[in-house]
Copies of this chain bind each other. A is one copy, B any other.
Amino acid sequence: MNNPNDPQRMERIVSLCKRRGFIFQAGEIYGGLNGCWDYGPLGVELKRNLKDYWWRVMVRERDDVVGLDGSILTHPAVLKASGHVDTFSDPMVDCRTCKARLREDQVPEKNGAKQCPNCGGKELTEARPFNLMFQTQMGASAEPESVAYLRPETAQSIFVQFKNVLDTARKKIPFGIAQIGKAFRNEINPRNYIFRSREFEQMELEYFCAPEQGMQLLDYWLEERLRFYENIGIPRTKLHVLMVPDADRAFYSKGTYDIEYEFPFGVQELEGVAYRTNYDLTQHQNASGKSLEYFDEETKAKFVPHVVEPSAGVDRTVLALLCEAYDEETVTDEKGKSETRIVLRFHPRVAPFKVGVFPLLKNKPELVAKAREVQALLRPHMMVFYDEGGAIGRRYRRQDEAGTPFGLTVDFETLGEKGEELRDTVTLRHRDSMEQERIAIADLLATLLPQVQ
């Protein structure tokens, strides 16, 4: 089960995510909405922690990056200029026999001919492009000029607002504009759980630079991003860097790396780091008629900036965190019986709850009061789960499944009933090793806080 390529492993992860409230199917009680997912109480915290850490290291701790939050509804002229209206499409074929609509590149060949995977039919239509953008009508009239699109990527609002940001943020090149937000693609075949969905979230940085800085910054950002994944608990050994070959790169890109992760369903892309030249800004400058040039006060040069783009998927990174964390092991309980322990070995930085607080018994008011004190002490600084129900071993197991790295048990020693030297100490249990140690309540914050930030 711990073989990362075991096909059952993915099923177990999906099952745990449903059972513990990480991820639910959108509209499940109505049969579900294909390719859309809702994050439950644990999932929303995991995702927030990931996004907050990205924002912290990519924006708040850097002098050279500022943030943006653009609208999802997008003016058609933006996506016409970017090329999405004309070329953001998959080739589709219809089966003349069973009427199934299929992505041409996913139709398998049999005996040298393409055959419908649905019914085996051999009569398929010619391939036609199917645009992947969702469109809607804005305003009260249904004229063509009232079309708006749901953005297929967050990047375009960064390019479109480049001049406004440049004029207001007092930044000199090289500098970046970062954004986290939802994007939408009408995938024909959403698949692999939250890996390829129709509604998803992106974390994108557009880092603007002089033309001669592009190739060097491409390598700089690749390294930065690899370090990011290591810092959230995805070891570099599980990451693959693919240098996208010339033929597969967008025509305007001078270099693109894919950062891939070993998912149970195969090695798949987590993030693209692309040197996009000045293609995007030039397209928008030409289409809008507004200058998007930068004037370098030192060199007196005027040019349309080049850009390096690290573009990460929030949901697929959440999935990588879940896949990397999921573990089953056989343990022996206090009665000598062996059982399977399911544990999510999240890095404490991304774990939904940082610590579980447990009074040993719920019918002893002194234990409960002390446990509530410990909770109140820690809660302003980290997510705490308080649980007083059931045997302590079962409470530990529940937190193992939720990925909570630390457990604190308030017992009779805490109350000073087993000697003064143990008064106001608690048991600190470590999720991964299951080892337990005694720690003073007064030392808790200083011990735990640096590990969970």
Contacts and interface: CB of A to CB of B under 8 A. Distances in A.
B26 A73 contact: yes
B137 A26 contact: no
A41 to B, nearest CB: 4
A138 B34 contact: yes
Contacts of A67: 41, 44-45, 48
Copies of this protein in the assembly total 2
Interface in A139-190: 139-141, 148, 150, 157, 160-161, 163-165, 168-170, 177, 182, 184, 186, 188
A24 interface: yes
A134 B63 CA distance: 39
A386 B63 contact: yes
- Chain A binding surface, main DSSP class: mixed
Interface in A107-142: 130, 134-141
A116 B148 CA distance: 27
A159 to B, nearest CB: 10
A391 interface: no
B73 A38 contact: no
A238 to B, nearest CB: 26
B74 A33 contact: yes
A21 B169 contact: yes
Interface in A348-372: none
A68 interface: yes
Interface string A286-307: 0110100000000000000000
Interface string A72-104: 111101100000000000001000000001000
Pairs of residues from A and B, 8 with the lowest C-beta to C-beta distance, nearest first: A21-B168, A27-B75, A41-B66, A36-B71, A30-B77, A39-B69, A29-B288, A44-B67
